[in-house]
Amino acid sequence: MSSKRIASSKRRRFLTDARGTTAIEFALTSPIFLAMVLGVLEFGWAFHCGASIRAAVTRESRKLIANPAMSAAGFQAAVQADLTNIADPNVQVAFATETIGTSAVTRVSWTYSHPILYPFLPNLTLNFSSSTLVPK
Q: What is the mean pLDDT of the chain?
A: 85
In this predicted structure, what is the pLDDT of residue 2? 66
* Proportion of the chain above pLDDT 70, given as a percent: 94
CA dist 69 and 87 (Å) reads: 27
DSSP H helices, 67-129, are: 72-82
More confident residue, 80 or 11: 80
Instruction: Check: CB of residue 93 under 8 Å from CB of residue 83.
Output: no
Confidence grade of residue 102 (pLDDT, cut at 50, 70, 90): confident
Confidence grade of residue 34 (pLDDT, cut at 50, 70, 90): very high
How many Cβ atoms sit within 10 Å of the Cβ of residue 72? 15
